[in-house]
Amino acid sequence: MQIISLAFVLFVLALLCVYYLVGRLCGRYQWVVILVANFVFYYLAANLSGMVFILTAALPTWLASQAFGKLTASYKARRKATKDKAERKRLKAELKRRKRVVLVAALVVILGVLGYLKYWNVILFNFNLAPSPSSLGILLPMGISFYTFMSAMYLIDTYNDKFAPERNFLRYLAFVSYFPCFIQGPINRYDEMSPQLSEVHHVELRKVQRGLLRLGLGLLKKCAIASMLTANVSAILAAIGSDTPGAAIVVGIVLYSFFMYGDFSGGIDMVEGVSELFGIEMSENFRQPYLSVSIADFWRRWHKSLGVFMRDYLFYPIALTKPMQRFSKWAQAHTPHHIGRTLPACIANLIVFFFVGLWHGAEWHFIAWGMYNGIVVALADLFEPVFHSMKARLHVRDDSKPYYVFTVVRTFVMVNIGRYFDCIASVSVSLLALHNTFLKFAPAQPLTTVLADMGVTDAATLGISWVAFAAMLVVAVVDVAEERGVDVRDKILSWKFYQRVILYVVVGLIFAASLPTTVTAGVTFAYANF
């Protein structure tokens, strides 16, 4: 069952009826409806065997959290029974040691399963022990990265006593298996989602309207942008060779950026909109990423829930380790102040972005893409005083509009340089593409002719049809308005009826024009296999 299908619409409509009927009759069991719906959806969208992997992530982390609770309760009772400071210190150290053993054991289980399914075949291939990256026939269960990371966050948070462990396994399972985030995220946090899943929800027209608007925006992004661009992106990237002019490659890379934004953020808008129909708000995953002013800012706006996971559960633990703290003191004592203060964070960032690349796949081009982003972020931090001095000499104000536009354009260029490693499956071809971009940019023939020869449709408009252009214009207006602090959905709902009808008809016509291509291209999502 695809998310863009009649079956999914009927599934959601039936679920909404049951969900709100149960809420009216016996509200405290609404979460049970969600739990059952999660597994019904997974069965219809994937297969029954995949549910085993959900339990493989949920059960060990829940059992570990119960162990944390019992160990802590035992520690408090034994600590209360003694006045001896040395004994209390020993008990605390023992608690910490036992909890760490439980934590590591649970993490090994859930991350070991994810690692085997996602990376084992690729690792064997890289060491010439398998004929291809998929020769073992290992199929990645739908949404495994997302529910594994959600389980890991819950596990670590209960280990750190951020909140009390959930005693009811089925309630916890309702969180881990929440069906809207199966497709491509976001990575939700237990302490934000659990209260929403537990409380009683009744039909609220405003929330339903907001959810439908977000769902509609997501459909527009996916169908009228991503689906309309995917064939042209594939045609250009597949044709890259030593004679391919850099101008054609740049067109392909920029189209890929628009495609990926439409595909990924469109899918997120759809599942967020569906979730809002049930009165449940998931973690935000995008915030106008192509209006970022730096690469670091881009990663605070693009796939935000992954960024939060990497920051809170990888960056900070690395930065706060004793070896890193010792290195930080050494660096501050032996290097200029800014470098000494910044260098440890730069190293931690490089490690984080290595894992960001690895999360996207075990292929070398993903590793290169992650490291590119990490290096750019690290260099920007290290050379911040130099950039600040240059701006002062040139009398450039940070709050000036021309400088803001410059930083947005600069960041978009830097992001797209990184895309060479993201969307091209070979590092050598990525480097060839970069070489041609900078040293063989101009085509021997008109660019439109080169694109047409590559099999690009709408070559006269650089591969962008009027449907895609119109949809991109709508999304750009929405993003700029949101960046300025306007709640676009509330703004639309405050319009007069005829104004809303005009908007819905225009957007509906754009969407309808994209349907033939969407049906041909298919409705799978790029991040569905993560």
For 25-41, the pLDDT digits (tens) are 988 899 999 999 999 99
List the one residue out of 239, 236, 152 whose CA is nearest residue 190: 152
Give the count of beta carbons closer than 10 Å to the beta carbon of residue 137.
6
Structure tokens at 420: 């060479």
- DSSP per-residue codes, 193-236: HHHHHHS-----HHHHHHHHHHHHHHHIIIIIIIHHHHHHHHHH
Query: Does 135 score more than 80 pLDDT?
Result: no
Q: Flag whether pLDDT at 46 surpasses 80.
A: no
Mean of the per-residue pLDDT values for the chain? 93
Other CB atoms closer than 10 Å to residue 55's CB: what's the count? 14
CB atoms within 10 A of CB 371: 17
Question: What percent of the residues of the chain are helix, what percent strand, and what percent coil, each to the nearest 5?
Answer: 75, 0, 20
Burial class (CB in 10 A: 0-12, 13-18, 19+), 84: exposed
Confidence (pLDDT) at 477: 97
Q: How far apart are CA 473 and CA 491, in angstroms?
A: 18
Three-state DSSP class for 286?
strand
220 pLDDT more than 80: yes
Give the relative orientation of helices 401-423 and 427-439 as an angle to the nearest 10 degrees.
140
Q: Which of 145, 149, 170, 142 is nearest to 35 (CA)?
A: 170
Six-digit token string for 94: 């023992």
Structure tokens at 478: 């929405």
The structure tokens listed for 226 are 């991503």
Alpha-carbon span 64 to 85, nearest angstrom: 29
Provide the 10 A C-beta neighbour count for residue 209.
17
Q: Would you state the structure tokens that stand for residue 446, as one six-digit string?
A: 């008109």
Lowest model confidence (mean pLDDT) among 343-347, 445-449, 487-491, 519-523: 519-523
Neighbours of 323 (CB within 10 A): 9
Closest CA to 180 of 265, 260, 268: 268
For residue 133, say if its preceding peptide bond is cis, omega within 30 degrees of 0.
Answer: no
Which residues on adjacent β-strands are paired with residue 286?
Answer: 302
Q: Residue 529: what pLDDT?
A: 65
- The single residue listed with the structure tokens 């960001």 is 356
For 142-190, what is the HEC assignment? CCHHHHHHHHHHHHHHHHCCCCCCCCCHHHHHHHHCCHHHHCCCCCCCH
pLDDT of residue 524: 82
**Averaged pLDDT for residues 46-53:** 78
d(CA 197, CA 51): 20
3-state secondary structure string, 309-346?
Answer: HHHHHHHHHHHCCHHHHHHHHHHHHHCCHHHHHHHHHH
Cα–Cα distance between 250 and 257 in angstroms, integer? 11
Q: How far apart are CA 330 and CA 324, in angstroms?
A: 10
* Residue 262: CB atoms within 10 Å: 26
Low-confidence winner among 46-55, 145-154, 335-344 (lowest mean pLDDT): 46-55
Average pLDDT for residues 447-473, to the nearest whole number?
96
Q: Is the pLDDT of residue 134 over 80?
A: no
DSSP 105-154: HHHHHHHHHHHHHHHHHHHHHHTTSSSSTTTT-PPPPTTHHHHHHHHHHH
3-state secondary structure of 302: strand
The pLDDT tens digits of the residues spanning 481-512 come to 999 999 999 999 999 999 999 999 999 999 99
Measured CA to CA in angstroms, residue 315 lies from 123, 157, 311, 484 at distances of 25, 15, 5, 30
Best CA proximity match to 59, nearest among 183, 177, 163, 179? 177
Average pLDDT over residues 79-106: 92
Q: What is the mean pLDDT of residues 438-446?
A: 93
Task: Please report the pLDDT score of residue 433 as a whole number.
Answer: 97
The C-alpha atoms of residue 289 and residue 274 are separated, in whole angstroms, by: 22
Q: What is the spatial distance between Cα 50 and Cα 43, in angstroms, rounded to a whole number?
A: 8
CA-to-CA dists, residue 179 to 101, 305, 336, angstroms: 31, 17, 51
Residues 343, 505: Cα–Cα separation, whole Å: 54
The pTM for the full model equals 0.93
